[in-house]
C-alpha cells in the first residue's frame, strides 16, 4: 500500500496532516539521509521518516536597545521574532543559514539600525564550506539581479544588476571541500551563494546554485556583525566547525 508522504508522517507522529506538511515544507523531514522535499509524494506505507527539529535560540547579547541571537538553521527569522514579545527584526537570514541575527527593542533604535544597514555602516562576516579547493583570497565584484517569487533566485547581470562585493578568504581544506571566511560589502539576496557558485565554488548543500553534494542544509553561517562600534559573534554549530 502507498499514500502521500505528509499523511504517512502524520500517522507515524500522531499529528495533523497540516502540521506534517509544514514540517516537510520547512525541510525538517528525512528518509534515510535524504531530505523529503515533496509533501504530496506518494510513498510506501512502511517508509520510516526522521524529523530533525532546529536547535534552541541562544541569546548572544541584550540591552534596552538591541537583542542579538544565534539563529539555528531551519528556523525562519519570523519564527525567531515571534519568540520574543518585545523585539523586531532589523535584518534577515535565509532559513537554512545559522548565525548572528539582530532585533531591535524600540522604534528609535530600529530606525537607526536600518539606516546603518542601508548606508553600509554595518560589517557582516560569514563562514561556509564550499565545493573545491580555495588557496587564495578572492574579491568577487559582480552585479546581482534578483527575480522575486515564492522561491527567489539571483543571477549575475552586468546590465541591470545592483553592485555586489564579496571577499572570500581561505580557512581550511578538507579533501575537495574548503572552509572559507567571508565578508560582504553589500547585502543582495543570495549574494554569497551566487557569487561563490559563479566562481565554481558553490556552498556545500546549495542545490539551487549548483552544489552536487547532498547535505542536511546549506553550510553557511553568519559568524559576526559589527554595528555602532560593537561586535557580536555567533558560535559555530557542529556542521560548520568541521565538515563531516
Return the active site residues: 94
| Integer Cα distance of 67 and 65 in angstroms | 7
d(CA 235, CA 244): 18
Sequence-ordered alpha helix ranges (H) in the chain: 5-13, 17-25, 77-82, 107-118, 191-198, 238-241
Q: What is the DSSP string of 22-75?
A: HHHHTT-EEETTEE---TT-EEETTPPPEE-PPPPPEEEEE-SSEEEEEEPTT-
Q: 150 by DSSP, 3-state: which?
A: coil
The rounded distance, in Å, linking the Cα atoms of 128 and 122 is 20
CA atoms within 13 A on the CB side of 47: 24
Instruction: Quote the CA–CA distance of 106 and 101 in Å, as a whole number.
Output: 16
Amino acid at each position: 500500500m502507498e499514500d502521500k508522504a505528509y499523511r504517512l508522517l502524520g500517522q507515524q507522529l500522531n499529528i495533523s496532516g497540516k502540521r506534517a506538511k509544514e514540517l516537510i515544507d520547512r525541510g525538517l523531514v528525512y528518509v534515510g539521509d535524504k531530505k523529503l522535499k515533496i509533501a504530496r509524494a506518494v510513498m510506501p506505507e512502511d517508509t520510516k521518516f526522521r524529523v530533525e527539529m532546529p536547535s534552541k535560540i541562544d541569546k548572544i547579547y541584550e540591552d534596552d536597545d538591541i537583542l542579538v541571537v544565534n539563529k539555528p538553521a531551519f528556523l525562519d527569522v519570523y519564527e525567531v521574532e515571534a519568540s520574543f514579545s518585545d523585539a523586531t527584526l532589523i535584518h534577515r537570514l535565509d532559513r537554512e543559514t545559522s548565525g548572528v541575527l539582530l532585533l531591535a527593542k524600540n522604534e528609535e533604535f530600529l530606525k537607526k539600525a536600518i539606516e546603518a544597514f542601508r548606508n553600509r555602516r554595518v560589517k557582516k562576516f560569514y563562514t561556509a564550506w564550499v565545493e573545491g579547493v580555495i588557496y587564495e583570497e578572492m574579491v568577487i565584484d559582480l552585479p546581482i539581479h534578483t527575480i522575486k517569487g515564492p522561491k527567489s533566485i539571483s543571477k549575475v547581470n552586468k546590465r541591470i544588476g545592483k553592485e555586489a562585493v564579496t571577499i572570500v578568504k581561505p580557512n581550511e581544506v578538507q579533501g575537495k571541500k574548503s572552509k572559507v571566511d567571508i565578508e560582504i560589502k553589500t547585502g543582495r539576496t543570495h549574494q554569497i551563494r551566487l557569487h561563490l557558485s559563479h566562481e565554481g565554488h558553490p556552498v556545500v548543500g546549495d542545490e539551487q546554485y549548483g552544489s552536487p553534494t547532498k547535505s542536511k542544509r546549506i553550510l553557511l553561517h553568519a559568524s559576526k556583525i559589527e554595528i555602532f562600534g560593537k561586535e557580536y559573534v555567533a558560535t559555530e554549530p557542529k556542521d560548520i566547525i568541521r565538515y563531516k
